[in-house]
Amino acid sequence: MDDNFIIILGNGFTKGVLAWINNAIPINANSSNPFSFDISYLNNPDISLMSKLPKLQLLISQHTSMDDFDLMRWFTENQKSDLITYAQMRQYLAIVYSKISKIISKNWQRDFMWENWFKKYQNNIKAIISFNYDLSIETLLLKNNIDYYRVSTEEDTSTSEGISIFKPHGSCDYECPDGSFSIDDLDTRLTGSIFHSDSGIPKILSVKEQMEPRITPDIIVPFENNFQIDFRWVTRGYSQIVEKMRESDSCILYGLDYHKVDRPEINYLISNMPRSSRFIYSSSKSKIVLENEIRKRSRVVSRIDYRIKEDFDKLHCKHRYQIIIRKKKYTTMKCELCGKLVKHWN
């Protein structure tokens, strides 16, 4: 019997998609440097989006030595009380990741390493949890005619079919539902207003609407605590996902940096996998800390490099393990079929 998979994605997935596209078509797009994009405002080539966000523009000009994510980390830790700059940052991130999503969709290249895997195992994927704002995973599924719906959004109905996707940090195409707030003038939306309202399930924006200012961008800024964690749509989403996790036996974690601010949510997800499940995760800046957390839940943990085809192919293998090293704390086993190494913690 095939495994039932839960997949948890971070920015490394989007970076992998963009790198794959860039190998075929130079696209000059980097999801780790969102402030480097030159985006026109409302498709007017004479007006840049950044020029409409003067407080954010000033912040960036004052910290040119920092890369974009380091700047956002510094801001959330030291200056988040500057609410106008914070609001402008959220507006900008929502639009720039919509732009990145358009670039990915327009320039999609076949045979991306995950495509064949998703096509083969689409019926075994119980759910995807993505901490990304962009639509890279949605695009992969759409380009391969794999049905999906976003959990706890207006796509989530009694007739929804396909793979469940949950985005607890929001998405570049989410907006507060119709009737909750009304700000018709698009320029006014950029003035720095902030709405943190538990107003209902997110509305899905059209491609055109994604390039316009939001009433309230439904995203969590990098390195920010998830202030939406108790919103009804998020708690409902976690409830649905946890139910699916308890029916699964394998969890793949890909592209997660496992930053301290995100650990409570990721740890909560890990803790709801069955104790008999296996975990496979990609290299992470905090790989030792992440592996220690996984070991609290499972004794079968392996780390692989998805950039290496031989490692990636191990996801397909029907493993037959043989013990090669036995130590007091753990046993190292090797698959006789693919050579994959795993540690079984005693």
Structure tokens at 195: 């709405």
Q: How many CB atoms lie within 10 A of CB 268?
A: 12
Structure tokens at 283: 């290299």
Residue 1 confidence (pLDDT): 44
Q: Which residue has 């990609």 as its token pair? A: 282
Q: How far apart are the first and last CA of the chain?
A: 26
Structure tokens at 148: 């999906």
Contacts of 272 (CB under 8 A, 6+ apart): 242, 245, 246
Structure tokens at 205: 């924006």
Burial (CB count <10 Å: 0-12, 13-18, 19+), residue 32? middle
Residue 92 confidence (pLDDT): 96
Task: Report the predicted TM-score, pTM, of the whole model to 2 decimal places.
Answer: 0.89
Question: How far from the centroid of its chain's Cα atoms is residue 43's Cα?
Answer: 27
What is the C-alpha separation between 246 and 133, in angstroms, rounded?
A: 26
Domain boundaries, given as residue ranges, for the chain: 11-232
Structure tokens at 132: 């990304």
- What does 259-321 look like in DSSP terms, one character per residue? -GGGHHHHHHHHHTS-TT-EEEEE--TTHHHHHHHHHTT-SEEEEE-TTSHHHHHTTT----E
Closest listed residue to residue 239, CA positions, set 166, 311, 132 = 166
**Pairing of the two strands 203-204 and 321-326:** unpaired
Mean pLDDT in each 10-residue stretch from start to end of the chain (346 residues)? 85 92 87 91 92 95 96 94 92 96 95 88 95 97 97 94 96 85 82 70 94 90 93 96 94 92 96 92 82 88 73 63 75 72 71
Residue 313 confidence (pLDDT): 63
User: Which helix (H) or strand (E) covers residue 87, if one does?
Assistant: helix 83-106
Q: How many CB atoms lie within 10 A of CB 173?
A: 25
Q: Where are the beta strands (DSSP E) in 96-242?
A: 125-130, 148-150, 163-166, 174-175, 203-204
CA angle 307, 276, 156 (to 5 degrees): 70
What is the C-alpha separation between 118 and 298, in angstroms, rounded?
A: 24
